[in-house]
Amino acid sequence: MTTAFSLAPLFRSSVGFDRFNDLFESAARNDSASGYPPYNVEKLAEDKYRIVIAVAGFQEEELDLQVEKGVLTVAGGKRDNGAQNQEKDNVTYLHQGIAERAFKLSFRLADHIEVRNAGLANGLLTIDLLRQIPEEAKAKRIPINGQQVLESNGS
């Protein structure tokens, strides 16, 4: 059962918060039933984050990371490796717990978040993120001087 709700009343008195509506809608659509592959999102410091994805059985060339329009997409899929696949075709699994199936994860990045690097070690894909707010986007203190305002408005 899906419950639809409108966020329109929240946005009537706000300016520039259109992306929040998109975030809520994508969260409502997100299929939380599929937890493959498992991942962690970690906050290391005030402006440093890390995403760690368990990609057991995947090699670097079988993983693809892309950032487009503020969305980090991580995809993985087995490539056809001739001899290696022949060996696997001859194997009878008594239990197969290592999934190695294709996947695609998407993470919406906040403004000014940049992917710094990515590494693969011991079956874990680690993606380091850093928030770098440009000087023009940082908060500025505005001095209040009523006399200047009156002089500029009056003629």
Contact yes or no for 108/25 (Cβ under 8 A): no
- Tell me the pLDDT tens digit for each residue of 39-77: 999 999 989 999 999 998 899 999 999 999 999 999 999
pLDDT of residue 35: 81
Cα distances from 13 to residues 23, 47, 64, 76, in angstroms, run 18, 30, 41, 42
Spatial CB neighbours of 118, under 8 Å, sequence gap ≥ 6? 65, 125, 126, 127, 128
pLDDT of residue 61: 94
Distance from C-alpha of 55 to C-alpha of 51, rounded to nearest angstrom: 12
Task: Write out the H or E segment, with its range, that includes residue 107.
Answer: strand 103-108
pLDDT of residue 136: 83
pLDDT of residue 25: 59
pLDDT of residue 30: 56
List of domains in the chain? 37-138 (2.60.40.790)
Please tell me whether the overall predicted TM-score, pTM, comes out greater than 0.75 for this model: no
pLDDT of residue 125: 97
Distance from C-alpha of 38 to C-alpha of 113, rounded to nearest angstrom: 22
- For the chain, residues with pLDDT lower than 50 are 32-33, 83
